[in-house]
Each structure stands twice: as structure tokens, then as C-alpha cells.
Structure 1
Amino acid sequence: MPHRLALQEQRRQTALLLGLSVAVVVSVAFSEYLTRTLLGLAAFWPANALLAAGLIALSGSRRVSLTIVFVVFHLAIDMLVGDSPPRALLYTAIDTGEAFAVWAICLRFWRGAPRIRTMRSLILLPAVTTPVAVIGALLCAAVLSAGFSEPFLRVLVDWFLRCALGLAVALPATLVLIDAEHRRSFHRSWREQFLLMFAVGAVTLLCAHPASGAPPFLIFPVALAIAYRLGARGAAMASLIVAVITLPIALSGASPRFNAILGPVAQARTIQVFVAVLFYTSLAAGLALAQQDRLKRLLLRREQLTRAARSRALAATEAKTEFLATMSHEIRTPLNSVLGFAQLLATREDLPPDVRRQVNLIDSAGVALLTVVNDILDFSRVEAGQIELLPQPTSAAGLLRDTVAIMAPEARAKGLSMDLEVIDPVDALHDLDADRLRQVLINLLNNAVKFTDEGRIDARLIVEPGDLEDRLRFEIIDTGVGIELDKQALLFQRFSQTDSSMSRLHGGAGLGLAICRALIEVMDGKIGVDSVSGRGSCFWIEVSAPTVEPIAVPDRPKVSAPGAAKILIVDDHPINLEIGAALLTLVGCEVDLAENGKQAVERATTGVYDLILMDIHMPQMDGLQATRAIKALSAPAGKVPIIAMSADALPRQVERCYAAGMVDHIAKPIQREVLYAKVERWLHQKTAETPVSSK
């Protein structure tokens, strides 16, 4: 690939050398034969600009070759048109020096080729090259005045206008024509380009022809139209065509349109001004349009990159979700056995005290591991924007009181006192998501207990009445280790710990406070901490909520004892079947077992069940397929509530369970209280929906 690029660059340089060489020869011949004034100086001299552009764009020996072509043909054509050898040498030397001076200035200012892509660069280039023309004019005028008795001022003005116009017009035009960026924009068919150039040539001839009455300003709209269609390159070519046509005709005295009545000198000045104004007007329009086209292409490119980045981000999110789903399932499955059997052992009354303590430690460790898994899943929900609030009339004081009651046993076990203070002049219900707010408060209280070895923990609620909403401030104050000021900013970042040794001592994934912050932000609230290292911390929450009236809740119907329930458990793991059956048998339920979805459909068809607990991942027929098959059965089998009991706990996985026809979801590892609550709820629901027969 590098070798091929090098070959392409060599071919481009060779083609550029040939093109510039031809242009130099043609321009010298054109200027000397067709645009000479009375002093024998050309009115338009683009050869210097072409040589300067070649010195800028070419490399190595190609610069030398172009310089030789310039010098040889300059000398030859000068002498062919009647200049003496000394004059020809003088003109050639000064012109060559001007080209090299422009090259040196460009290397100084631009460190290479100037890029004519903005109005600033278009104005800056002639501002830099004009002093070169002034110096060349002074040198030429001085030599011609001293050695050839030519009028100093006249030579000075003519030479300056000759070179300044060539550098100001031909150099930007050449740089635009060889710029790859301009070649990539404004792609038009060859037919359209030819027609546009023919149009500007025809209009120019019409305006310059002595028999025509067309004014010269008609050239401007045509040149601007070309700039609109072809960009800066089209504007440069159109201006050069106008100069090539008007200069010979006007300077020959054939056209009365360009101040011919005032004499050849005035006519030459008028032509020079006209060409310069036309060039800069049309090229400015072309550059503006090229800039717009470049921005459009850049915008399209960025849109493509954005779409590609979005696709990659979606793919990464999908991969992360699948990874979380797999890891969650693989962790929850063995954890179900650990917690399940620990809970079963804890119910036995024949355990010695030391064995019961060890079983409780196993259960506590399992619950801690489950908390880490749930934190990761909660954070994935937060990142996916899947946290939805379910506000309901809530007593903020009652919520804090219940939360403190939950955490009080852990505090007492460490010898800590836990007190509650409520300052609530409103004493009303507020529209809050009690579950999410309780989750945050439990996390803060749990951290307070974890990081406090002695002293006390205070939970405080301050309610400040407002016109539309009240401001609720919860504070959890401890006398624990405290947090250094420079580390407090890390607390609410994901996977962060304030101290590595603290992390090793207390554990945790570093997600709890990040989840708390995300939940509070969803509530449009604030969360923060005030702490002094070694003197404790105060974590605070501020949320705003309106007061609401309580909602009347209908009485739940009375039902028979759970022992009357017949439940089918479906799971391909024998250990899970054993744990589920044992837990439900403890409360008097009659339990049947099935090892896969196919067996579950067969048992549901032949048996009568009050409830079905269904795993998802099973051989032969998975839980979703089995649920659809059972729901397709005729009543009463098709009306039996089916609860998912699976290690698939991500929101998307739970949604698939509901879509298949399941009514609820129990995440593994199975928590005894959760299992009993779900079973009781749906047994009550089924009993309430069963019509009472009349005798």
C-alpha cells in the first residue's frame, strides 16, 4: 500500500509538471504577443504565478525542470518579440526572483502550499505577494531608468500592475485548480462544464466586440452562475477565460467598452481593474459555496460516523445485556441452593446453638452476595433508562419509621443505638414512590451500620411546607469512620470505593450509592454527604412532593388456609425442585414436581392445580413454550396462574415471561418470605375470582 501511494504521488507530480510547463510557455507567449503596452511590458503576466505555484506544489528535481522551462522560454520569447538580450535577461531575472521570493514567503507563512478555501486565505495571499511585486517594480524601474533611459514612474507603475495582477489572479487560481479538496467538490458532467465555459466565453466576446452594444457587466452574472454550479475551480477558470479574451481585444484598440477613448494606458488600467474585480467577486462566491459544500459533506460524514457509532453502541449494549443475563443466571442458580438449604436448616429445631449460628452465617453471606447481584442488575436498569416511578400516597414519617425498624436489629447486634426524629408540621401523605425511596434509605442506613463501630445512628426527617409541593429532607447521621473531603466526590460514582483498605474490610461492589443517586435524580431530588474524617457522616436526601389524599383500599376476601393449595413446581434441577417442595410443604401445601416443560403440560392436562411455579430454561420444552401450551388448554387447566421462578431477572427477561402468559415472577435464589407472599397473593386472587355456587 505505501509503495502504491508513492507511485500515485509520482504520477501526480509528473502530470502537474507537464501541465504547469505548458501553461508557463503559453502564458509567456500570450502575454508578450497579445497584451504588450507602449513600453513593451505586458499588461497581464501570470507566468510568475505559475512558476511560484510549481515551486510550491512540486518536489525535488521537478522544481528545477520547471524553472529551466520558465527561464529558457522567457528569454526566447522576449527576444522573439523584439527585446534586446540585456532587456530579456533583466526581465527573466526579475520574474524568476519574484517567483522564488513568493515561494519563500509561502514556506514562511504557510509552511507549504497555501490552501485557498476561505475568504481569509484569499485576501491574505495577495496581501503577502504584493510587496514582492513592489520590490520587483522598483528594481526594474531603477535599472531601465538608469541603463535604458526609460521613465522611472511609468515603468514602476506598469511593471507593478503587470506582476501584481498576475500574482493576485493567477496564483490563487492555480492553487485552487490543483487543490484536491476543490476537485472533490461540485462534480458536474463534462457537457455541463463545457456549456458553462462556452457561455462565459461567448458573453465575454459579445461584450468586448466593437460592433456589440452589450455592457461588460453582463459577464458578472454568468461568472457567478459558473461559481454556483462549479464552485471555486469554475470561478477561477471563468475569470481566466475572461482575461484571455478581453485583454488582447481591448489592448488592440478594437473594443470601445474599456476606456479606449482615454488612450491605451487608461484602457490597460481599466482592463486590469475589471479582471481583478471579476476574479475576486466570482472566486469569493465560489469559495463560499465550496465551504458550504464542504460543511455539507462533513455533516454527512459525521452522520454516517454517528450512525456507525450508534450501531456499535447498541451492539455493545446488547452484548452487555446478554453478559449480565448469563452471569446473573449462572450466579443465581447455585446461590439458590445455598440460600434454600440454609433457610431449610434454619427451620429445624434440633440444631445445636453453634450449628445454628453457622447456618445463619451462611444465610447472611448468601444474602450479601445476592445484594451485590441485585445492585448490578439495578444499575443496568438505571443505565438503560428502565427505572419507572410508581408514586402513591405515602407517609414519609411512617416510611422512615419502618425503614429504621428493619435496620434496628443489625445496629443493636453491633452495640449501636439508633434513634428517629421527625419534624413534620404538615402531618399529611405525600405523592412518593415508597418502594424506591425505601430502597435508598435502607442503603444509606446499611452503610451507616457497616461503617460505624461504636456510637449511634440517627435518622431524621424534616418537612418544610410549600405552596405547591413540600420539601422533604431525610438525614442519616452516624458516628463512624467519616470520609475525607477529597474522596467524597467518589462516593456516588459507580464501582468506586473511598478507600481500598475500607473496601477490603467491609466489601461491596461500589454500586449502592450510585444507584441511590440515580433513583433520587429520577425523583428530581438531590442526594449528598457532609462528613469529617474520623468524626462521622451525614448523608442527606432532598425531594419535593405534593400532599395527597389517601386511597381507599377494598378489603381482601377471606380464603382457606394455604394447606388446601395444590401446587406444581417445574424445574430441570433436582436441587431446585427439592428446595421449592420443602419450603412449600412447610406451610402445608401439596406439591407435585415436573422436570421439564413437556411434563408440566402433561400434568396440567391431567391434574388439577391451584398454582404452577415454572422455571424458564429447561430441555425438551422451555418454560415460555410450556406456559403458552398450558394457557391454550381449556378451563380449568388453562386458567391456572403460572408464576415464573427463574434465575432470569433482567427486565427484558421478566417481560418475556409476562408476554408468554405468566402472572408474576420470583427471582432465584428463592427468598422464603418472597415465595410465601407471592403464593399467598395469587391463591387469594384465584379464590376471589372463583364464583360461589348457589344451592
Structure 2
Amino acid sequence: MTRSAALQETRRQTVLLLVLTAAFAAAQLFSDGLTRGPTGVAALWPGAALLAVGLMALGPPRRLILTVVIGVVHFALCLAFGDSLERAVVFTAVNLAEAWAAREAVRRAFGGAARVRTMRHLALLVTVTVPVVAVTAAIAAGLMNLLDHAPFVSLWRDWFVSGSLGMVLIVPAVLVLIDAEHKRTFHRSLGERLGLFLLMAVLTAAVFHDTRAPLPFVLFPAAILCAFRLGPRGAAEAALTIAVVSLPLGVWNIWLGQLLAPWDPVQMTRLIQCFVTVVFATALAAGLALAQQERLRRLLVRREQLTRAARARALAAAEAKTEFLATMSHEIRTPLNSILGFAQLLAGRDDLPADAHRQVGMIDTAGAALLTVVSDILDVSRVDSGQVELMLQPASASAVLHDAVGIVLPEAQAKHLSLEIDVIDPVGGLHDLDALRLRQVLLNLLNNAVKFTERGKIVARLIVEPGEVEDRLRFEIADTGVGVPIEDQARLFQRFVQLDSGATRAYGGAGLGLAISKSLVELMGGRIGADSAPGHGSCFWFEVPAAEAEPLAAPATEVARDPKAARILLVDDHPMNREIGVGLLRLAGCHVETAENGRQALAAAARGHFDIILMDIHMPEMDGLAATRAIRGLEGPAGRVPIIAMSADALPQQVERCFAAGMVDHIAKPVQREVLYAKVGRWLEAGE
């Protein structure tokens, strides 16, 4: 607690001590002076309740001060109103004991500080204080019976009724009034509060000015109104207002002899107390219900604010992750483009020694492995953001399987592994498939089979099961490799999981291939699994549904070798990238011109007569997107030339920006020769 908060709490407790002391003195003056019955017990007795609630709310030093002050005042007023010394001692001692016993009973029942914030709290408070009053009433009646032979039953009844009514009304009302939570929940203007108090006072005066014709029921709507507008504090203040106004008027009517038969003064006083207690309980129930509703509303608002803040943080984190992946992808792909590009150019030369050809092949293999890791990381990002969409086209599942096997066949042969294909296809036609994603899954499984198999064979199997609406395609990749222990099979398709992850592990990889494969298979509406045993190999399988499809005309996949067939403008600010691009395109028989930035590209395009423009994105002076938009603004054929992005920006949102700028296709760096030729050939075919 801060120093200012501690000082504020000290002042609050001091004010509460003074108010309770003054309230006790005024209450005892009124009660002992005006409401004593034949047994000497006041019909109205809130004194013990005031002391009890003070003991509950005050700290240790002030509890003792309040007890001493109230004890002295109580003893002095008893003597002043004609009690003997013995009666004054008994009344004072028993009332002090009653207050302390009530405080201890409430503390134990509530497990700490007492609060009235629900009807359960109110019921618990009444349940533990009323028995305390019953016991202390019996003690007081027994002592008085020993001192002056006072009737035990009458004295016990009078003490219990007046004491319990005081506890039931005063203790919860004061606890509600001093509870800061109720102040915050219902905050109203001072004018409205004063207006409601004035309404209660006027109505109470009108009702009790003549007890021979009471109309107390008209006070209930006003008390409920106070509870609705001011909450539990309004209910407590309304009840205390009724008590403060009605009791003096009741006494005044007693003096004037204006009592409604057959009530005597003591009965009338108790009747008023019972009425005030009922009004208080009714209004407090409404106030507590409204307070609970308001607390729930504020809790919902707070949770909604926290949810919005958490969502904003999550979106910011997702954007930061996407930006990080985009930056890292670009920075990794750019040098990797040079590694793979020059390796491909060297592999195409006939003047290299055999050892050099072998070493170039190793460079190309290592670069391809690194490219696979980068692509896997990007695929994870696409799957997480829901940016992977299937491109369904008529394709042969058998042909896709043969293509995937053909890609990994050289590596399998290098390890002297037998790689067999087994196709069971009674349909024999085409299906609506995303051949690219299907091949990606098959390559992941085949690469793993080759990696984890040292001897024996690998069988790639396709089983097509015809269906009424869709066929079921089951792919199986079985090997004679090391196998997977049963306890590890549950983790096979989790991200970044490598079952051989020790410092001496024999196999590399990022642990993403199977996780990506699972996501892609599920996106296709299928399922994936594995059957394996250590030392007996593994069989990874997946099943996907696919509808039969009609064949489409296949697009051109290669560029014509005639040098006059393609005039290409290659735009890239990096000299090595230009050299690689020029080398690969000239191998295919293309005429190639180059530009180092967007301004040069715009000038060259304006001079014209290019069949295709290959455009980098990040360049000085004018970037590729701006250059594309400027070229699209040119008149004539120069403004309609196909522009293909050739960039390390490979994330979906980056590719979308290329299309939005006016580009027609995208080639991701590192540039793969087959992909480059296929894209260029496609747009040359489209332009004819």
C-alpha cells in the first residue's frame, strides 16, 4: 500500500470511529430515554449492533478505543436513567460481550472481513448474529434474575427481540454503507441522491405522522426506487431514513396518545422496527441483484477489452512474424539463387572434368536441400495463416506418383536402393487434384524413405478404390529402413520433431516435412498415418478423396530453341542474378537484354518489341512494382507485354502485390531452370 493510500485509510477509520461513537450515544439516549419497557430493557436497541459493526470494520487500536468509549458512555447513561450500579454493570458488560461475540462469529463464518455483496452474505450474517443475541439475552436475563429477581422469560424476550432487530438491521446496513465497492458500482450525482433521500423522508413523515391510520405500503416503491438508482447503499440509506424519521414520530404519537389499538408503546416501537427491517431486506435484495448484474457487466466489458487487446497483440505478432519470414526468405533466397544458378550453368558445360562435374552436382544437391528447408518454413507460415489454397485440375494420380519417384530415383540409386512402383488403378482415368501439393506430400514421404533406409528397397504404391461420387486414392510409401518405435509414432506428424535429435544424430532435416504433409492431406479432405516397427521398416500412407475429371489440353512446357522465338528483357539490380538469368535463357535460345532498375526497364520497354519481361521487385531508383505499373501505362503493344515477377519475395501476400501491380506470373528465387522454362513457354504460347 502506498503512503497516500495508507493515510487515506487512516483518515477513513478515524472518521468511522467518531461517527459510530456519536451514533451510539444518540441511539442510547433515544432508546433508554424513550423506549424502555417494564423490564428495563429498551424496545429499540441498536447500540450493540453499532459496536459490533465497528469491531468488524476498524483496525486493532481503534477497536479497543471504540470499546472503551462506548462502554463508558453506556455505563454513564444507564446510571443517568435510574439503573442501579449492578444493573448498569450487567447491561454494559453483556452488551460489550455481545458485540465482541458477534464480531468473532461473523469473522469465522466469513473467513475474514465481512461484506454484504450477495443475498447469501446477508443470510449468513443474520444466521450467525441472531444466535449470539439469543445467548447473551439468556446470560443477561439470568444475571438480572439473580440480582433483583426480574422475570427471566420476559427479560430474555425483550432483550432478544430488541437486540436481534438491531443486529439484523444495523450491521448489514452499515457494512453496505462503508463498502467502497458499492460506491464505485452505483455512482450518482449529489442532486439525485439528495432528492431520493428527501422523497423517503417526506413519504415516511406522511405515513407515520398519525399512527392511527398508517399507510406503510406506500414506502416500498420509494425504497425499491432508491435501490434501483443507488444500489445496496441506496437500500441501506432508505431504511435508515425511514427509521430516523418514523421512530421519533412514533414516540411523539405515543406521548399524544395517538396509538392504533390494541398496540402499546413498546409494541408500536417493535412494529416500526420490524417494518423498517422488512423494507430494508426487500430493497437490499433488489440492490444486491442489480449490483451483481452491474459487476458482471463490468467484468464482461473488461474481458472484452482484454480480448480486443489480446487480439490486437496477436495480430501484431502475426504481422511481425510474417514480416520476419518475408525478410528472412528474401535474404536467404537471394544468395541461394546464385549458388544454384551458377551450379546449373556449370553443370551444362561440356569442358569440365569429371571430378568438377561431380562437385558441381554436390553443390546443386546441397543447395536444393537448403531450398527445401526454406520452402518448408514458408509452407508452415502459409498453413498457419490459412493462405494455402488447392488448385484442382485434371491430373493422373499415377503420373504424379511416377514424377515424384523419378525425382528421388537418383538419390536412391546412389545408395544402391531398389525403388519400385506398384499401381492398382481399375479406373485408369484422371481426377480433380492439386498435382503440385500432391507431389509435395509424396516427395516428403519418399525423401524420408530414402534418408532412413540404408539397404533393401522402397515401394511406392497407389491403390484407387472407385466410389459412387468420389474415388478414394490411397498412397503408400513402404521401406525396409530403421523403423519407428511405437512410443515415438504419436509424435511423427508434429512440427520440428526429429526422432533422432541427439548430438550424434545421423540424419538431418528441420522436422517440418511430415507436419506440412499432414496439413496438406487434411486440406485435401484426407487423412495420413504410419505403420512401423524398429528394424522392420515403415509404411507411411495417406488417403484423399477425388472426383473423376475430363482431360484438358496440356500447356506448352518448354521454350522453343529458335533464337528468334523469344525476345526477353531481364530486369535485376544484382549482377550475379543477371548473369545467371542470361545464361539460362540463352541456353534455351532466347535473345536477352538486361536492365539494372525500374527506370531502365521502363525506357527499354518503351523502345519495345519484347515478348516477355522478367522483373525483379527490390531495386534502386524505381522498384519492380512501380516499373510494372508504369509499363502498363504505355500505349500500344509495349503496354501489354507479359511481365513475370522473378523475385525472392515468395510469400502469398507478396505474390498478390505483384499481380495487383499488373504482373501475370511469378517465379520464386532461387530460379529453377525447369520452372523458368515452363513459365516463359506458357506466356510465349499465350502471346501467339
TM category, shorter: over 0.9
For residue 334 of structure 1, give the secondary structure of its aligned residue in structure 2: helix
Which runs of structure 2 are paired with 1:200-211 in the superposition (5 Å)?
200-210=200-210
Aligned residue for 2:119? 119
3-state DSSP of counterpart to 1:585: helix
- Larger CA deviation: 109-118 vs 32-41: 32-41
1:258-311 per-position Cα deviation (integer Å, ceiling 9, x unaligned): 975244454445334323322222111111110100011111111111111122
Give SS of 1:261's match. coil
The answer to whether the 8 A contact 1:613-1:643 is kept is yes
Structure 1 residue 206: deviation in Å?
A: 2.4
1:384 aligns with 2:385: yes
1:583 & 1:89 partners in 2: Cα distance?
A: 113
Residues of 2 paired with 1:81 and 1:12: CA distance? Answer: 33
* Deviates most, 581-590 or 246-255: 246-255
Are 1:458 and 1:478, in contact at CA under 8 Å, matched by a contact in 2?
Answer: yes
Offset of 1:454 from its aligned partner?
2.2
Q: Which whole-Å CA distance do the structure 1 matches of 2:22 and 2:134 have between them? A: 27
Seen in structure 2, the aligned counterparts of structure 1 residues 552 and 369 have a Cα distance that, compared at 3 Å, is: closer
Partner of 2:6: 6
Which residue is equivalent to 1:525? 526
Alignment of 1:153-552 (within 5 A): 153-210=153-210, 213=213, 215-250=215-250, 254=254, 260-264=261-265, 266-424=267-425, 429-466=430-467, 468-501=469-502, 504-545=505-546, 547-552=547-552
| Range that drifts further, 610-619 or 266-275 | 266-275
Q: C-alpha displacement at 1:227, in angstroms?
A: 1.0
Instruction: Give yes or no for contact 2:560–2:681 (8 Å, CA) kept in 1.
Output: no
Cα contact 2:212–2:260 (8 A) shared by 1: no
Question: What secondary structure does 1:662 align onto?
Answer: coil
Change (3 A) 1:489 1:49: farther
Given the alignment of the two structures, is residue 597 of structure 1 paired with residue 598 of structure 2, yes or no?
Answer: yes
Counterpart-to-counterpart distance in 1, 2:258 and 2:452:
95
- C-alpha displacement of 1:644: 0.9
Amino acid at match of 1:522: L
Unaligned runs of 5+ residues in structure 1 are 688-695
Distance 2:206 2:428 in 1: 94
Shift of 1:84: 2.8
1:19 corresponds in structure 2 to 19
1:82 maps to: 82
Query: In structure 2, do the counterparts of structure 1 residues 89 and 619 end up closer, same or farther at CA, with 3 Å as the change threshold?
Result: same
Cα 1:363–1:194 change in 2 (3 A) is: same
State the alpha-carbon separation in 2 of the partners of residues 559 and 587 from structure 1: 7
C-alpha distance 427-590 of structure 1, shift in aligned 2 (>3 A): closer
Aligned partners of 1:526 and 1:541 also within 8 Å: yes
Contact 1:235-1:282 at 8 Å conserved across structures: yes
Please give the secondary structure, in 2, of the residue aligned with 1:567: strand
Q: Distance in 1 between matches of 2:53 and 2:525?
A: 63
Greater Cα offset, 434-443 or 669-678: 434-443
Distance 1:216 1:433 in 2: 82
3-state SS of paired residue (1:500): coil
Which amino acid is the alignment partner of residue 97 of structure 2?
G
Contact (CA 8 Å) 1:259, 1:266: kept in 2 or not?
Answer: no
Is 2:476–2:539's contact at 8 Å kept on the other side of the alignment? yes
Contact 2:476 2:541 in 1 (8 A): yes
Matched residues in 2 for 1:170 and 1:150: separation? 28
- CA 1:345–1:397: 2 relative to 1, 3 Å: closer
Q: CA deviation at 1:128?
A: 1.7
Q: Identify if the C-alpha distance between structure 1 residues 14 and 262 changes in structure 2 by more than 3 Å, giving closer, same or farther.
A: closer
Looking at structure 1, the residues matched to 54 and 644 of structure 2 have their Cα atoms a distance apart, in angstroms, of 82
> Hey, what's the Cα distance between the residues in 2 that align with 1:448 and 1:256?
108
Greater displacement, 417-426 / 117-126: 417-426
Kindly report the root-mean-square deviation, in angstroms, between the aligned alpha carbons of the 2 structures.
Answer: 2.7
Residue in 2 that maps onto 1:576: 577
Letter paired with 2:229: R
Give % identity: 58
Amino acid in the other structure paired with 1:475: E
Give the structure 2 partner of residue 104 of structure 1. 104
Q: Distance in 2 between matches of 1:525 and 1:558?
A: 34
2:93 pairs with 1:93: yes
Shift of residue 339, structure 1, vs aligned partner: 0.6
1:56 aligns with 2:56: yes
TM-score calculated relative to the size of structure 2: 0.93
**Distance of 1:680 and 1:454 partners within structure 2:** 41
1:479 Cα deviation from its structure 2 partner: 2.6
The DSSP-based 3-state class of the residue aligned with 2:337 is helix
Distance in 2 (CA, whole Å) between partners of 1:269 and 1:477 is 93
Distance 1:16 1:367, change over 3 A: farther
1:183-229, Cα deviation, whole Å (9 max, x unpaired): 11111111111111222222222222327856322222221121111
Contact kept in structure 2, 1:497 and 1:503, CA below 8 Å:
no
Equivalence for 1:587 = 588
Distance 2:370 2:630 in 1: 36
Aligned-partner Cα distance in 1 for 2:21–2:435: 84
Q: Is the 8 A contact 1:226 1:234 kept in 2?
A: yes
Task: Tell me if structure 2 keeps the 8 A contact 1:258–1:271.
Answer: no
1:429, distance to aligned residue in structure 2 (A): 4.5
Mapped partners of 2:110, 2:130: distance in 1: 16
Residue 637 (structure 1) aligned with residue 638 (structure 2): yes
- Displacement of 1:424 in angstroms is 4.8
CA distance in 1, matches of 2:214, 2:588: 108
Partner of 1:691: none
Task: Work out whether residues 569 and 577 of structure 1, in 8 Å CA contact, stay in contact via their aligned partners in 2.
Answer: yes
> 1:634, CA displacement in angstroms?
1.2
Question: Structure 2: how far apart are the matches of 1:515 and 1:258?
Answer: 90
Distance 2:95 2:664 in 1: 92
1:351 aligned counterpart, secondary structure: coil
Call closer, same or farther: CA 1:455–1:13 in 2, change over 3 Å.
farther
**Higher mean C-alpha deviation, range 53-62 or range 168-177:** 53-62
Which amino acid in 1 is paired with 2:163?
C
Partner of 1:690: none
SS of 2:419 mapped into structure 1: strand
Matches within 5 A, 1:652-667: 652-667=653-668
2 CA distance for matches of 1:21 and 1:652?
Answer: 74
Q: Provide the secondary structure at the position in 2 that maps to 1:506.
A: coil
For residues 70-110 of structure 1, the C-alpha deviation after alignment (integer angstroms, 9 at most, x for no partner) is: 21222233333333332222222112112212222333333
1:243 Cα offset (Å): 2.6
CA displacement at 1:332 relative to structure 2: 0.8
Equivalent pairs counted in the alignment come to: 686
User: How much does 1:464 deviate?
Assistant: 4.6
Q: 1:163 to 1:501 in 2, by over 3 A?
A: same
C-alpha displacement of 1:616? 1.0
Question: What amino acid maps onto 1:357 in structure 2?
Answer: R
Q: What's the counterpart of residue 45 of structure 1?
A: 45
SS at match of 2:609: coil
Opposite residue 623 of structure 1, the aligned amino acid is: G
How far apart, in 1, do the equivalents of 2:612 and 2:223 lie?
85
Change over 3 Å in CA distance of 1:480–1:20 after alignment to 2: farther
Report the CA distance shift for 1:381/1:107 in structure 2 as closer, same or farther (over 3 A).
Answer: same
Q: Distance in 2 between matches of 1:454 and 1:558?
A: 37
Does residue 1:567 correspond to 2:568, yes or no?
yes
Q: Deviations over 1:491-550 (max 9, x none)?
A: 2222222231389422222222222222233333322333333333332323344x3441
Listed one character per residue, the Cα deviations across residues 542-585 of structure 1 (whole Å, up to 9, x for unaligned) are 3344x344154488799965522111111111111111111111
Q: 1:51 to 1:644 in 2, by over 3 A?
A: same
Partner residue in 2 for 1:66: 66
Q: Counterpart in 2 of 1:28?
A: 28
**2:417·2:458 contact (CA, 8 Å) conserved in 1?**
yes
Deviates more, 1:330-339 or 1:269-278: 269-278
